């Protein structure tokens, strides 16, 4: 049995988990890889902190170039995250003929094209299972398991932190700020968890899934993003009264000539399989033209789940390397990109159902004024409920609409917000019934 040498750049949370898995499960990993998988170098600026695992100190270096330039290393594992120097390290490693494993969703979502091209130029493989859904093998499902299908729908709960926050808000009725503070205090969220809660992280992951599903790098910037910070326990409760759960969803729908691609809070029917994905779990719901509906569920982050994904990539690459089978699959699993690339529909052209909540003065004619604005924008109401009555004379009114055009909804919202009889800003949540 020959030997495959791995160099790891980044000895933080995921790096430590990866080293731990490679050491603890060494026997089963080499059985499955068909070759010994050996850690040859680990680079991190901090070579002193205790990571809870025992590694030969001789493996540690503070210089990433020690890893990249080591001629004996077959696979470079990039686990530092972020744009630079991760991008530079990956490209340098590839130029030296090294295969690369990365968990870096932000980099792939924003600079994937350059990296995917480098694999071809350098004749190396790139694997990135850990970049989406932590331990859930969703990248493989799209690259291999569902390869016979045209993918029609992707709906994902792709950010564990925001799903944890929404679960607490739903179950305990606490406001967003309190739940976030608790999550930060418990070490479950970064302080502040901006990229998690504003939809950026989920949009990075959606960009990667779309790129694989459709064979061409998706433009991250064209993916609409809206976060969860303005959601209230009231809206979550009202949604529940209508039979819906509120989730931060990353959604892609294949419209034939173009794609919907968007991340925002959404109401989904309580009996949808995604509605019961709670706490920090992630899940990806997919539909393909042959396979029908599929769901993949698991822990979307954390030291050990993410390490599971990183090491599965190392094993796959080792299987290829021992046979000299480079280029067995391009990064996006398409040998020919689609002719016209990926066209993302502008958000204004979305058609969807909507939930609105506004506080209106409790006096005659108010609802008819609002209904008139909606009607002018071709928005038809499917149900409306007035929720009790407040001391100040204003009442919360919630309504659901039939399918309407996003640009019309935005116009209507802006007009209603200008009415004297409407207190506070109107709340709008998209409803996913399809």
Q: Where in the sequence numbering do the catalytic residues fall?
A: 205
Q: Can residue 167 be called a binding residue for a second copy (CB under 8 A)?
A: no
Which residue number, 150 or 221, has a Cβ lying nearer to a second copy? 150
- Nearer residue to a second copy within complex by CB, 167 or 401: 167
Which residue number, 51 or 262, has a Cβ lying nearer to a second copy? 51
d(CA 330, CA 211): 12
Residue 237 CA to residue 334 CA, distance in Å, equals 44
Minimum distance between the CB of residue 70 and a second copy, rounded to whole angstroms?
23
Indicate which single residue of 147, 230, 382, 414 sits in contact with a second copy (rule: CB under 8 A): 147
DSSP 362: S
What 8-state DSSP symbol labels residue 344? B
CB 286 within 8 A of CB 294: yes
CA neighbor of 250 nearest in space, from 274, 278, 270:
274
Residue 206, sorted as left (phi over 0), alpha (psi -120 to 50) or beta, turns out to be alpha
Nearer to a second copy, 83 or 328 (CB): 328
Alpha carbon distance 311, 317 (integer Å): 10
**What distance separates the 2 farthest-apart alpha carbons in the chain?**
83
Q: Determine which helix (DSSP H) or strand (DSSP E) holds 161, and give its type and residue range.
A: helix 160-172
- Is 395 an interacting residue with respect to a second copy (CB under 8 A)? no
Distance of CA 126 to the CA centre of its chain: 19
For residues 151 and 233, give the distance between their C-alpha atoms in angstroms, rounded to a whole number.
Answer: 34
CB of 4 to a second copy, least distance (A): 13
Distance of alpha carbon 108 from alpha carbon 102, whole angstroms:
9
Which span (90-98, 256-264, 302-310, 380-388) binds a second copy, by CB under 8 A? 302-310
Residue from the set 294, 384, 407, 408 that interacts with a second copy by CB under 8 A:
294
- Within residues 206-225, the interface with a second copy by CB under 8 A covers 215
Beta sheet of 36-43, edge-to-edge order: 60-61, 36-43, 3-9, 75-78, 99-102, 126-127
Question: How many Å separate Cα 391 from the centre of its chain?
Answer: 42
Query: Which of 7, 15, 112, 135 is the binder for a second copy (CB under 8 A)?
Result: 135
Q: Per rule CB under 8 A, is residue 148 in the interface with a second copy? A: yes
CA atoms in the 13 A half-sphere facing the CB of 117: 6
Residue closer to a second copy by CB (options 68, 299) is: 299
Q: Smaller CB distance to a second copy: residue 195 or 291?
A: 291
CB atoms within 10 A of CB 139: 24
Binder of a second copy out of 50, 336, 364, 368 (CB under 8 A): 336
Q: Work out which of 156, 305, 331, 396 binds a second copy, going by CB under 8 A.
A: 305
Distance CA 129, CA 136 (A): 8
Give the x/- contact pattern for a second copy in 246-285, rule: CB under 8 A. Answer: -------------------------x-x--x------x--
Residue 34: both structure tokens together: 């068909």
Nearer to a second copy, 308 or 401 (CB): 308
Q: In the complex, what is the shortest distance from the CB of residue 311 to a second copy, in angstroms, rounded to a whole number?
A: 3
From the list 52, 335, 340, 420, which residue makes contact with a second copy (rule: CB under 8 A)?
335
State the number of binding residues for a second copy (CB under 8 A): 65
Q: How far is the CB of 330 from a second copy (least distance, A)?
A: 8
Binding test (CB under 8 A) with a second copy, winner from 38, 55, 195, 291:
291
d(Cα 151, Cα 394) in Å, to the nearest integer? Answer: 47
Residue ranges in contact with a second copy by CB under 8 A: 17, 21, 24-25, 28-29, 31-34, 129, 135-137, 140-141, 144-150, 215, 271, 273, 276, 283, 288-299, 302, 304-305, 307-312, 314-316, 319-320, 323-325, 327-329, 333-336, 338
């Amino acid at each position: 049995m020959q030997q495959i040498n791995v160099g790891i750049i980044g000895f933080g949370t995921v790096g430590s988990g990866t080293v731990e898995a490679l050491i603890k499960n060494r026997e089963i990993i080499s059985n499955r890889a068909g070759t010994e998988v050996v850690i040859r170098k680990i680079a991190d600026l901090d070579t002193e902190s205790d990571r809870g695992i025992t590694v030969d100190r001789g493996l540690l270096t503070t210089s990433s170039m020690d890893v990249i330039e080591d001629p004996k290393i077959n696979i470079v594992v990039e686990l530092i995250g972020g744009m630079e120097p991760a991008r530079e390290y990956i490209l340098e490693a590839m130029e030296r003929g090294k295969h690369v494993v990365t968990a870096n969703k932000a980099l792939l979502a924003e600079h994937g094209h350059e990296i995917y091209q480098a694999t071809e130029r350098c004749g190396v493989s790139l694997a990135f299972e850990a970049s989406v859904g932590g331990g859930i093998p969703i990248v493989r499902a799209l690259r291999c398991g569902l390869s016979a299908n045209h993918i029609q729908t992707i709906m994902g709960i792709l950010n564990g932190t925001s799903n944890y926050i929404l679960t607490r808000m739903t179950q305990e009725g606490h406001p967003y700020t309190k739940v976030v503070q608790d999550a930060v205090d418990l070490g479950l969220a970064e302080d502040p968890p901006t990229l998690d809660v504003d939809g950026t992280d989920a949009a990075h992951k959606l960009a990667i899934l779309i790129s694989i599903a459709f064979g061409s790098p998706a433009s991250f910037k064209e993916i609409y993003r809206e976060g969860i910070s303005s959601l209230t326990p009231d809206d979550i409760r009202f949604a529940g009264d209508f039979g819906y759960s509120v989730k931060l969803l990353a959604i892609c729908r294949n419209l034939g000539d173009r794609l919907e691609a968007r991340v925002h809070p959404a109401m989904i029917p309580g009996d949808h399989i995604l509605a019961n994905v709670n706490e920090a779990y992630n899940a990806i719901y997919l539909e393909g033209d042959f396979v029908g509906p599929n769901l993949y569920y698991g822990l979307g982050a954390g030291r050990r789940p993410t390490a599971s994904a990183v090491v599965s990539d190392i094993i796959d690459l080792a299987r290829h390397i021992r046979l000299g089978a480079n280029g067995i699959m391009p990064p996006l699993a398409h040998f020919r990109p689609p002719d016209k690339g990926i066209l993302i529909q502008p958000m204004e052209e979305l058609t969807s159902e909507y939930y609105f909540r506004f506080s209106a003065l409790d006096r005659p004619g108010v609802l008819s004024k609002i209904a008139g604005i909606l009607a002018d924008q071709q928005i038809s109401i499917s149900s409306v409920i007035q929720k009790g009555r407040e001391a100040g004379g204003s009442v919360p009114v919630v309504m659901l609409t039939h399918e309407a055009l996003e640009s019309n909804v935005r116009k209507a919202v802006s007009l209603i917000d200008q009415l004297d009889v409407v207190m506070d800003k109107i709340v709008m949540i998209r409803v996913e019934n399809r």
